[in-house]
Every structure is written in C-alpha cells, then in structure tokens.
Structure 1
Amino acid sequence: MKPGAPPLQSARLLDQVRERVRYMHYSLKTEKAYLYWVRFFVRWSATQPGGMRHPREMGAQDVEAFLSMMANERKVSASTHNQALSAILFLYREVLNIDLPWLNNIGRPQQTKRIPTVLTKEEVASLLAQMEGVTALLARLLYGTGMRLMEGLRLRVKDVDFDRRAIVVREAKGNKDRVVMLPHSLESALRQQMLSARSLWEADRQAQRGGVDTPQALEIKYPRVGNTWGWFWMFASPTFSTDPRSGVERRHHLFEERLQRALKKAVVQAGIHKPVSVHTLRHSFATHLLQSGTDIRTVQELLGHSDVSTTMIYTHVLKVAAGGTASPLDALAAQPLSIQ
C-alpha cells in the first residue's frame, strides 16, 4: 500500500480498481476506461497458456504480449494503446502496490502530431447561424472563451461574474482553475439562461429534491451545499438522472451529446466540408486570437495549457493561412495554365 493511501476495503479486483480511482478523484470517464482495460487484460490472459490468472501472477512478458496483441491484431490507435497501458500501470502501481523495474521499461507508442482543424471566421459565423436555443448559446460560449466542452457544461452559477465580465473555469484539465473572458455579446443571453436555471432550482427546492453534484470533500464538510443557488448548473438538464457513483437521483448538467448532435447538424447545413467537432471551436478561438495580434502567452493562459509549446501548434496553422510565406511558383513569369 502506498504511503498515505488508505487500505482497500473491497475484495474483488475490479471493485478495488474502482475504489482507488475514486480515492484519487479521477473522472468518471477515466474510471470507466480503466475498468474496461483491466477487465480486458484479465480476460485476455484466459486465452494464453496456463489459462486465466490474477495480474499478480503475470509479469513483463504478459503485459508486453497483451500490448503487442493490441497493436498487431486489433490495430488500435496510439492513443488507445497508451490508454490501455496507463490502465495496466495504474492497476499494478496504485491497486496491487507493485512497482517493479519492468514497469518503467515498457515503451509507449509515439502519437502523431497533427495540425488541428480550424475554421475561418466566416465559417464559424455560418456555423453558429444554423444553431438555435441553448445549444446555440453553448456553441457561442465555447468559441467565445476557448473552453472545452465539459468545462462549459459544468459551469456553475457562482462562477459567472457579469460585473467583471469574467468566467472562472473550475477543476479544468490537470485539476487547475483559470479565468476566461465573458463575451459582451453573450451577456444578455447568459442572463436569460441564468433565469431559466433559477426556475429549475426553485422547482427542485419546492419539491425537496436532492441537490446537484459537488466536490466530495466540500459535500462532506457542508452537506447542504449542493442545494445552494450558487452551485447550481448554468446549463442544467431539464430531467433527472441517477448518479452512477452514488446512486442518488439528482439534476445534472446537459448531456454532452446534445451539443455534439446539434453541431454536427449545423455543419451540414452550413455546407462546411472540414472535419468539425465541438473541440474545433476551441482551436478556432485560439487561432483567431493569434491572428488578431494577441500574444501567445495570453492565449496559453486562456486555454489553460501548462506549456507554451502546446499552444505553439496554432502558430503552424497561421504560418501558411496568413499568407506570410509566398510559393516560389508565384515568382515565376510563367504562362497562364489552361486545362482543357
């Protein structure tokens, strides 16, 4: 057992993984992914000589054979390969408390660094014009602030400051907080959204429904904090759902697929033929800021990047898109090309 970590209470391996993931405050998506790969790894061992074994009985050769199968037989991407490896390393180090030298020697496949898809300002305007309702507001907010999808959906009432025209993004990637601008053009729509959220909050209080989800440590210290207006979702779901971890039925934020479906439909209607996802709005935000002369350090802070080298990817888009480098073909006094 690692120093400072409480002893595991569960007897079953998957329950132990779940218990340790939650103790370390990993996201629900990470929990589901790690459980999937640990289960896959154990079941895969049943197909090997000797039959199904507990991970304690397996070693470097077994892990390498599993990862080799993933790459050669299932032909998974580098990101999927790395996710599976991270799950197995978590299993050995955090759950089984095994930190053997061979764990550090297992190589990770290099992921291909790709230039992100970026929309022009005209394409963004055309795309947003095809959207309506709460999804239109969300899409505008993500493009106007550079927030990630889940950062926007998890926005709390208390973190929208109309007076300072600022939005506080809590527990973002890397468990860091940051501040982004509140677009002036969205102030009226956000106030209306807040009134809509207030109606839901008041209805929940009158019906004595359970409060919204809050950080576990805060909920233990202040059990009623989830019932307060400040912690309510800006983009609350109109329906209730059961929390997969606690089993409590409560009101969550809007489901992410709602915006994803609306954006996909808008892309078709706008006649955009680039591969566009919700994250493309974030890429476009960063690129357009740099295009307008914003310094890269400011863009880095707004995006929440730990290293400026991550933000530098957007400068590669600008090098060509801005037309700063002319093609040598244009310098030739060639005859006009005619294609019959």
Structure 2
Amino acid sequence: MSFGKTFNRKDRYVMLSPRLLEILRTYWLDAHPRDWLFPGDIPGRPISRDAVELACRLARQRSGIQKPITPHSLRHAFATHLLETGTDMRRIQLLMGHRALSTTARYLELATGTVCATASPFDLLPHPASTSSPPTPEYF
C-alpha cells in the first residue's frame, strides 16, 4: 500500500493518497479558499460537522442507497476495506487512533468473508509424491 503523505491529528494518522492530493490541488486552484481548505458558512470558520453529515445524506439520496450513511460509517468502511485488502491489524489500529487493539478487532466481524477465506498454512505445504498403491492380491 502506497500513500503520499501522512498527517498526525490527535493520535490518528490520516493517509493522503497521491490521487486525492491531485484532486484537492485542482479544487484549491479552482476555489482559492483563504483560511480553510473547506470553508464553512461563517467567514473564517471551517465546514461544520452538520454540513458534512448533510452532504452524506444528500449523496445517499442521490445514489439511491437505502442504508443511512454517516461520516462514521465511512470511517468503518475505510477500516474494513483496509482489513480486506490485507493491511495488518496493528497498522489499522494506528490509522484509526484506537488505544486498544480490541477496539480495532471489531472490524474482524465486518470482514468475516475475508478472514474465513484465509488459506491455512497446511495448504501451502507441497503435496507428497503420489505413491503407487500396493498390488491387490488376486483371488481365483
């Protein structure tokens, strides 16, 4: 997994992929925000939590998805996708800012298909050479 930059915010590491960085640069060049990358309705203030939640609701309605979508559900999806693509639990723990590994382990329940599909080390052992079966006695 390769990501451009990593920012530490309150013990959470937020990955910034090169692709997203490119999109944000284009947005910045077009919008020229002054104080905040995502300014809020109040001058000099960032976008509010309520505005982010409203954007999630509108996106859900426009997409036709029936389940509720919140910023927190996107966070859960992010962690689950990391787990499903093979990222180790300790790294996910650091990225999510969890103090206890048991908190991060909750994502194992969400990714049971991936966890159950893990190959057993026994399956990685070479197959023994086939031996010819002993001759069966012939009875007349």
TM-score normalised by length of structure 2: 0.69
**Paired letter, 1:235:** F
Kept in 2, the 8 Å contact 1:166–1:179? The answer is no
Q: Distance in 2 between matches of 1:276 and 1:200?
A: 27
Kept in 1, the 8 Å contact 2:57–2:68? The answer is no
The residue number in structure 2 matching 1:168 is 7
| 1:164-211 superposed Cα distances (whole Å, 9 cap, x missing partner) | 8214143x3xxx3x43321122122211333467x443xxxxxxxxxx
The residue number in structure 1 matching 2:97 is 304
**Paired letter, 2:72:** H
Matched, 1:190 2:27: no
Moved over 6 A (4+): none
1:238 Cα offset (Å): 5.5
The residue number in structure 2 matching 1:268 is 61
**Paired letter, 2:90:** R
The residue number in structure 1 matching 2:124 is none
Matched, 1:291 2:84: yes
Among 52, 56, 66, the residue aligned to 1:259: 52
SS at match of 1:302: helix
Q: Distance in 2 between matches of 1:239 and 1:180?
A: 26
Q: Distance in 1 between matches of 2:46 and 2:91?
A: 29
1:298 Cα offset (Å): 0.6
Kept in 1, the 8 Å contact 2:60–2:68? The answer is no
**Paired letter, 1:185:** R
The residue number in structure 2 matching 1:91 is none
Matched, 1:179 2:13: yes
Unmatched runs of 5 consecutive residues or more in structure 1: 1-163, 202-231, 241-250, 326-340
Kept in 2, the 8 Å contact 1:286–1:299? The answer is yes
| 1:48-102 superposed Cα distances (whole Å, 9 cap, x missing partner) | xxxxxxxxxxxxxxxxxxxxxxxxxxxxxxxxxxxxxxxxxxxxxxxxxxxxxxx
The residue number in structure 2 matching 1:217 is none
200 and 184 in structure 1: CA distance in 2 versus 1, 3 angstrom threshold: closer
TM-score normalised by length of structure 1: 0.31
1:292 Cα offset (Å): 0.6
Q: Distance in 2 between matches of 1:298 and 1:323?
A: 17
183 and 236 in structure 1: CA distance in 2 versus 1, 3 angstrom threshold: same
The residue number in structure 2 matching 1:316 is 109
**Paired letter, 1:258:** A
Q: Distance in 2 between matches of 1:269 and 1:236?
A: 23
Q: Distance in 1 between matches of 2:66 and 2:79?
A: 21
Kept in 1, the 8 Å contact 2:108–2:115? The answer is no
1:265 Cα offset (Å): 1.9
1:314 Cα offset (Å): 0.3
Q: Distance in 2 between matches of 1:272 and 1:200?
A: 31
Kept in 2, the 8 Å contact 1:305–1:311? The answer is yes
Report the number of matched residues: 115
| 1:265-301 superposed Cα distances (whole Å, 9 cap, x missing partner) | 2212222222321111100000011001110001111
| 1:132-163 superposed Cα distances (whole Å, 9 cap, x missing partner) | xxxxxxxxxxxxxxxxxxxxxxxxxxxxxxxx
Kept in 2, the 8 Å contact 1:263–1:278? The answer is yes
**Paired letter, 1:324:** C
What are the residue-to-residue correspondences of 1:139-158 with 2, within 5 Å?
Answer: none
**Paired letter, 2:50:** E
322 and 200 in structure 1: CA distance in 2 versus 1, 3 angstrom threshold: closer
Bigger helix share = 1
1:323 Cα offset (Å): 8.0
